[in-house]
Structure 1
């Protein structure tokens, strides 16, 4: 009887798994998903074929190029105001600063990214040159988890080092560019900035209400640059957030906490977020996202420890087991195969998306493939 049940379960896995892969490969991400993606000024600069700094001339209908950032363009050439894509009244500078303009080879129009001093031209050239079209990283970028990186690991290391000293620079566009790149960078690249970061300065940024939209990224930077006192403050804020059931900045605080405390803190995380039935879904998701960021970095908290924690999550939160299936598959963590086979057999996961994720994992698992091949078909 047990053999027949296992055979039926494995056949279900592989027949449904084929449908899962077909469904995923032929589908498009929904508009709600894409609404979460923030295109940074750095990404816009990367995608442009031409980028220049240009300032209005005596004739308001023309702008003169004062510096070339990238592309086949010449200094002192002029750009007609009518070819500039911008809201009415923009982008003429009230302070007389140049505008950072970009365009593609297929377009006749230029787009303004904002004002920036001409003294930043060389930095912008270095930034543009750091993208050499090396490839696509599969890493989950946080706090924009749906973003895709088009830089190699080496290019990311170069880029974050270029922008780090411009975080909260007096020049607003330089600060915006720097923050956007650090925020979307893989955590492994951010970790290399430890010696460039000042913990006290970052702590002030975190407490600045005007920088609230940047708080999550700066919290993670504090986990890289901070010390024991910062760890105590972060843990105090985590306790406050849990008491209020506020998951707003929880993922970032957990990343910082684990960076400062190390793998020994995982036991607390498991007990607090996964074993405790009073935790809300946003709180659980925040803990999983923090583990994802740390697992991708595979440093202070080794990926194998994250995988062990995921398997604990699967065991104690069976209906949610699909939440971590695709990540485990990407990391080729096939030791969870037996866990997922048991979950499929028990029908513990009711959510179709969770079932799809688990079946896709099992379809890719060499252990599941071997087991399916060795089980005789039921009569």
Structure 2
């Protein structure tokens, strides 16, 4: 299940979670969009003739028939304070259905008014939202961030020269930056940064902490974008090869009891995500064979084995076959999901032959090896192999 989720190709920009609906989405989908001031509200009574209501005063209008100065009386009780401004939206054509009011400042409404709209060129839209990242109005900042979750990585990469490098470095270094945005900022810094910015990323990544850290996967990805193979080696040496967190002197850090502090699983997982990111989005910055080597290191973690094996299969890393097959009888990996992943890996290898190869062409060595391993496993677990074949060939 984990592997299936992680293998799905995400069209949206990585490390940026798209909100359910951005403000520009609301504007496009609504028939009425106004900035309104809360006036009063009444909870109503038990009688149908005395329903709850809320009154608003239209301050500004973007869409719909309600001009500035119009008073609206809407069904339902909406608490508020005198002078409070809200975004009111409605759809449904002639019989309007009003959405729940959203608190919004005048600055937020102007941000919505001036947004380029969904039909504008992607570069124009992204430039606008770039200018509003970390805006003092949190609604604006969150919405601008969320807009990046709706665009492919390639469109973000296309404006790399226009990214606010100095601001990104400042946000990455700032411990008060919203952790949910840190991964995205780290990735952006990787697209536009300098050697000095790589040091900013290193300082956050290799901080020598065993705390769970949100966003470190994006910081690692940014480092790999900036430094390529050198950064990959640093991640391997600090997060993937050692069992314990290493200090600046290369020795394990110790806790208050004098015991070495293990590298947290979350950091290993983040490094895996960074390697996977580079495979999909990194272009030629790091040779594919080096990324395969880095991912193989994570076979040492039984909790990651299912995902790692699935990735190595997708990447056609048949050089890892003997090591992967060796896990089949390893007690630490004796779980159905991992065994299925191993069998599926072998099935993929078995059928990976060159297209349009002559009928008398010699069989690739990995095909013969996969068939041999499958025969051994099938003798022990025939039902498991049969189910794996059914799944593979029903999908493909």
Give the TM-score range, shorter chain. Answer: 0.5 to 0.7
Residue 201 (structure 1) shift: 1.7
Q: Is 1:255–2:218 an aligned residue pair? A: no
Q: Is 1:267–2:249 an aligned residue pair? A: no
Counterpart residue number, 1:294: 278
CA–CA separation in structure 1 for the residues paired with 2:31 and 2:279: 36
CA–CA separation in structure 2 for the residues paired with 1:260 and 1:189: 18
Residue 200 (structure 1) shift: 2.0
- Secondary structure in 1 aligned to 2:211? coil
Q: Which runs of 5+ in 1 are unaligned?
A: 1-19, 26-36, 131-154
Counterpart residue number, 1:335: 317
User: What is the aligned residue count?
Assistant: 311
Counterpart residue number, 1:12: none
- Secondary structure in 1 aligned to 2:131? helix
Structure 1's 355 and 160: CA in aligned 2 closer, same or farther, altered over 3 A? farther
2:110 to 90, 115, 119: 119
CA–CA separation in structure 2 for the residues paired with 1:46 and 1:368: 44
Does the 8 Å contact 1:169/1:175 carry over to 2?
yes
The Cα RMSD (Å) is 4.4
Does the 8 Å contact 1:234/1:257 carry over to 2?
yes
Counterpart residue number, 1:284: 268
Does the 8 Å contact 1:318/1:343 carry over to 2?
no
Q: What is the TM-score normalised by the length of structure 2?
A: 0.61
Residue 349 (structure 1) shift: 2.0
Counterpart residue number, 1:178: 144
CA–CA separation in structure 2 for the residues paired with 1:109 and 1:273: 51
Residue 311 (structure 1) shift: 4.6
CA–CA separation in structure 1 for the residues paired with 2:56 and 2:117: 27
Cα offsets for 1:259-305 (capped at 9, x unmatched)? 22112322232233222122231121111112222222133634725
Counterpart residue number, 2:211: 246
CA–CA separation in structure 2 for the residues paired with 1:361 and 1:102: 52
> Where do residues 1-379 of structure 1 align in structure 2 (5 Å cutoff)?
40=19, 42-43=21-22, 46=25, 49-50=29-30, 52-56=32-36, 61-62=55-56, 64=58, 66-68=61-63, 73-74=64-65, 76=67, 82=74, 88-89=79-80, 94=84, 96=85, 99=87, 101=89, 108-115=97-104, 116-117=106-107, 118-124=109-115, 126-129=116-119, 159-182=125-148, 186-208=152-174, 210-213=176-179, 214-240=181-207, 243-248=208-213, 249-278=215-244, 279-299=263-283, 301-302=285-286, 304-305=288-289, 307-313=291-297, 316-317=300-301, 320-328=304-312, 332-336=314-318, 338-339=321-322, 342-343=325-326, 345-347=328-330, 349-362=333-346, 367=351
Structure 1's 222 and 201: CA in aligned 2 closer, same or farther, altered over 3 A? same
Does the 8 Å contact 2:19/2:149 carry over to 1?
no
Structure 1's 63 and 264: CA in aligned 2 closer, same or farther, altered over 3 A? same
